[in-house]
Amino acid sequence: MEEFEQEHQFAIDSADGKDLIAEYLRTGADDVLEHFFWVRAEWCGGYPLVHDRFVTYGAFGDLLDALEPEHRYRLLPKMLQLAEAVPDTHFHCALFLLAELIPDDRIGKRPANFSDVFLRLRLRAGKLGFLPNLRCTWDGLAQKQRYLVSPRDPLRIYTPRQLGLTSEWKTFFWIPLQDWTRSGMKDCRASTQDLREKIQHLGCLPGDRRLIYVTRIEKTWYWVWRLPGKTGTAHLARIVFLRQPAKGDLGLGHWDLYQQFHERDTPEAISTRLLEIEFRPHHLDFCERNSDG
């Protein structure tokens, strides 16, 4: 394994934020650590595990390796504050790093207000429980927080299983999401010409695209089209979507459906995919607004 690591560079070896780790070790400044978190969370796309060839590791492993256990413990109050402050798109990364900072080989004093923040984070984790592996991350945090003790802690009577997540997110989002397809493009603020050109660039001949779903996630609208796949191949279709937030830029993205995989263009599958897109950092193709937007 050591020879393999010497011959092959892993993705984390050149990950964004390496210079900030060095700066933090030199200065110990909280703002540098926070800057590192934002940079690294963007680098990993809001998902804190890196699947790199035949191994999987945490996106913050190099930072954690550079810190002594006592130093990690001292960062817990800062990380609690950050986990509450980050937007939903970076919440999974914040939970993961918080859990990783808790020592699991010793008993430590529970930081002030830890349990209060923990319960507030649980509500948010319940809402976002549909994100891949977020429930596992939360369950890991619920397990590790037992190593932080206080004689008057209100959570000491609960087991990690009781503090874990089930399917609370379904009380926040009904699956499938509400279907507004009959309204067509009525509320769309994208430039018609720019949208047409960008969809054609994705491999759609004029007249081939079909609007199959219009829905809304909180204040953000989505329009979803189905483009035909490549004839004679396992490529079934290309799903193209336009994201229109209440404020900010419109963005165009897509994913592909293949015969070998179970995902299809059902309302349930599209809804789940759009939820993951909405609550993770998105890097979409900018789409112009029309003159009325």
User: Do 80 and 98 contact (CB within 8 A), yes or no?
Assistant: yes
User: What is the spatial distance between Cα 263 and Cα 256, in angstroms, rounded to a whole number?
Assistant: 9
Looking at residue 169, what is its pLDDT? Answer: 86
CA distance 45 to 288: 24
Percent of the chain whose predicted confidence (pLDDT) is above 70:
97
- How many of the other CB atoms lie within 10 Å of CB of 10? 16
Per-residue pLDDT tens digits for 90-137: 999 999 999 999 988 889 999 999 999 999 999 999 999 999 999 999
**Which residue has better confidence, 1 or 190?**
190
Check: CB of residue 134 under 8 Å from CB of residue 95. Answer: yes
Name the residue among 253, 240, 255, 254 with its Cα closest to residue 209. Answer: 240
Mean pLDDT of the chain: 92
Whole-angstrom Cα distance, residue 185 to residue 244? Answer: 12
Residues 272 and 237 sit within 8 Å (Cβ to Cβ): no
The DSSP 8-state label assigned to residue 167 in this structure reads S
Angstrom distance (rounded) from CA 242 to CA 220? 10
Non-local CB neighbours of 152 within 8 Å, separated by 6+ positions: none
pLDDT higher than threshold 60 for residue 6: no
Tens-digit pLDDT profile for residues 241-278: 999 999 999 999 999 999 889 889 999 999 999 999 99
pLDDT at 105: 87
Give the number of other Cβ atoms within 10 Å of residue 280's Cβ: 20
For the residues of 18-41, what is the DSSP string, one character each?
HHHHHHHHHH--HHHHHHHHHHHH
Closest CA to 223 of 234, 214, 232: 214
Residue 91 confidence (pLDDT): 97
pLDDT at 177: 96
Q: How many CA atoms lie within 13 A of 226 on its CB side?
A: 14
pLDDT of 127 reads 94
pLDDT for residue 24: 97
230-250 pLDDT, tens digit per residue, is 878 899 999 999 999 999 999
Q: Does the pLDDT value for residue 4 go beyond 50? A: no
pLDDT at 3 over 60: no
What single string gives the DSSP state of each residue in 50-85? EEETTEEEETTHHHHHHS-HHHHHHTHHHHHHHHHH
pLDDT higher for 38 or 205? 38
Name which of 93, 89, 78, 99 is nearest 34 in CA terms: 78
Mean of pLDDT values over 21-38: 97
Q: Mean of the pLDDT values across residues 60-72?
A: 96
Tell me the HSE value of 2 on the side-chain side, using a 13 A CA sphere: 0
Q: Where are the beta strands (DSSP E) in the chain?
A: 49-52, 55-58, 108-109, 148-149, 210-217, 220-228, 235-244, 250-258, 285-287
